Structure 1
Amino acid sequence: MSTETLLERITDYANRADPYPLYAELRENGVSRQNDGSYLVGTYHEIAALLHDPRISSDLRNRAEPDAALARPDDLPPAFIGVDDPEHDRQRRLAMRPFGPPHSPGRIDALHGDIEEIARELIDGFRGRERIDLVDDFAYPLPVTVICRLLGVPQEDMPQLRAWTNTVIEPLDRSPGDDAARRRRAGMEARSAMGHYLGELAARRDAHPSNDMISELVHDDGPEGRLTRPELMTTLVLLMIAGHETTINLITNGMLTLLRHPDALERLRREPELMPSAVEELLRFEPPVQMLPQRTPLTDIEVGGIHIPKGAPLLLVLASGNRDPLRFENPDHFDPARPDNQHFGFGSGIHSCFGAPLARIETQIALTALIDRLDDPRLAEDPPPYRHSPVLRGPQHLPIVRNAGAAPRG
């Protein structure tokens, strides 16, 4: 087939369960221009260079032909992941102050006990059940509960927040034939509604502060001042969504991979100290974010001998780079003790994942609890049904059968 149809084939839902042969085809061709004028990059070293290249913009307003949807119908500015320095750097540093080092170095480590308790309670809820859905019963509620506690969002509001989140991320689904314009409009409306909801929570914390991140963001008077109210709203939307969506995929893809590799699962039972390394390998082998579709050259560039004009859509296929044999030995093999594992599971460069430390801890605790306490877990179907998004790729549901007569171990 023509390499100009690679994007169509990668985004075709029929290939969602196993896009890796298509990524291999992409790597063989280096950089591939697509029928829609976009360019796909799937080789490790080229992706790494582009992620650190100041000539590459994350702001879609720099496209030569900006989508009409970018004339935003909502009243919120782009999140800081969608703007360039120096504005990106200012907003990201303000958002980081209550989240991690150097200003809040102990916040994530302090959650360790809470995360273990949440995982334990969820697994206790499996008692007497022969069949569970790892997504709905575990991988979704764990990070959602954590991010709600961290930000200070009422747990009872999560059904509405889940509905908004699903609508906001739906435009990432590039399935052929879908009404993309409708999805974008609905996504903008949901983003605005979520932003105003979180803005109201911030207003309440302004009057009555609590021990949560929203309160700290509202009251932080650092040397650069505070985020404006619209910036705060859009930052809270980003933190709320990114704080659980990718972790759901990471936990689910992780357990799916371990159940497909029982020798690795048993090794982790015997050697739990390998779990941090195993999570890094999962980030390489089955990353929760498969590609970055929002990159644009600010000038004409050359990548892998291919000329890419200023303003052209540029898609960096991180999951393909993670399996590049020029960078990783035996890249299609899952090795929980893989050395020198500098993957793109959380991106790289100035836009590397803000919440990576939290996602790592959550996944290490979650997978350790699951493999320690579940009695003889097996996949009910393989492959499982996948989410539609080719960007945030992971199972929509992960049915697991187990020995219902056995209580969870531990």
Structure 2
Amino acid sequence: MTLSGKKIVLGITGGIAAYKAAELASLLVKSGAIVDVVMTESAKRFIGEATFQALTRRPVYENVFVEKKEGQIAHIDLADTADLVIVAPATANMIGKLAAGLADDMLSTVILASRAPVWIAPAMNVNMYAHPAVQKNLRTLEDYGYRLIGPDQGRLACGWTGKGRLVEPEVIFTEIDAYFADGIPDDFPLKGKKILVTAGPTQEALDPVRYFSNHSSGKMGYAIACAASRTGAEVTLVTGPTQLEAPQGVSVVQVNSARDMYEAVIKRFEAADVVVKAAAVADYRPETVSGQKIKKGDGPLLVKMVRNPDILTEIGARKTHQLLVGFAAETENLEENAQRKLEKKRLDLLVANRAEDGFGKDTNKVTFFFAGGRRQAFEQMPKRRVAEEICRAIAGLLETSVLH
């Protein structure tokens, strides 16, 4: 098992989502990890120590002045031996403490003393999460090298709906498992290959203040660019508007409309060895773009839409040596639509998913459709893992083409 023998410090702070930490602890223990739970005083008001003692078969730490073993300095021992420290849930208060470098309880003391990777899974009210101070503190933690997981969007316990939910324990567990997995080896066959990746939505202007777009977050394309870059490939990312940070080691080209993306891709297509079209490109755009803001009238607003250039069809017709990978997000008839797109666009690989499984999420559930008729289905997993599987599939296709 990937996590067998790994020492995980699980920090739990005082939010209603503390009960979910029990499931995370259980998943980690079942995988073979050694889990030490550190709770804040506030966390104990939401869930008891006995729960975690039973799940981990280990003592729960909550007081820096109470040593569980004679001669032990617990917070230092935990900090020194941890392979990973994760706080789930992490309240705004704990995030603020860590950003300021405060160490006034057992958990904050362990974290500041540890040289292990620290992951933070925020969970709080949507308005608290959006507060400038909290956002500044989160950016500070990222600058320290901490990894943020979530939060997710949805209905919160306080009654609000929005961003602030703790990422589900299964997803956090999968991320931890993936972190300790071997991942993609350094000598992966994509080293030196020129890979062109598209990501995100496009925006089709109606007037100076309005546009048509879609719900694509760009997370899948960015994850593919990162994964390909880690293999040593030379990656160019052509991206529509997103809220994501540019991946390190990747050449980024920012575009807005479908026509912008078309021009950027065609310009770079000939030099590419592989093209991965993960972007959700608008099929249509307004025929006329108003130079001034369109004012509200008494009747309906009728907008005539015209077709945008089909980037994938165009490069499929032009391809010579390139390997082409496309995506299909479907709401119905997934297999039939995916197979039709694979053949019509002259693709080597098509990655298909149901729209509700991937759009805007950190995870996806995909099926690979290969040109030769082979299919490979995967369970729901983080998009980072999906990206690695796509890179493995591309490498296999490249090796097959060389052999033949």
Query: Normalised by the shorter chain, which TM-score bucket?
Result: under 0.3
Normalised TM-score (structure 1):
0.22
Higher helix proportion: 1
Normalised TM-score (structure 2):
0.22
Higher strand proportion: 2
Larger-gyration structure (1/2): 2
Q: Which has the higher contact order (CA 8 A, sep 6+)?
A: 1
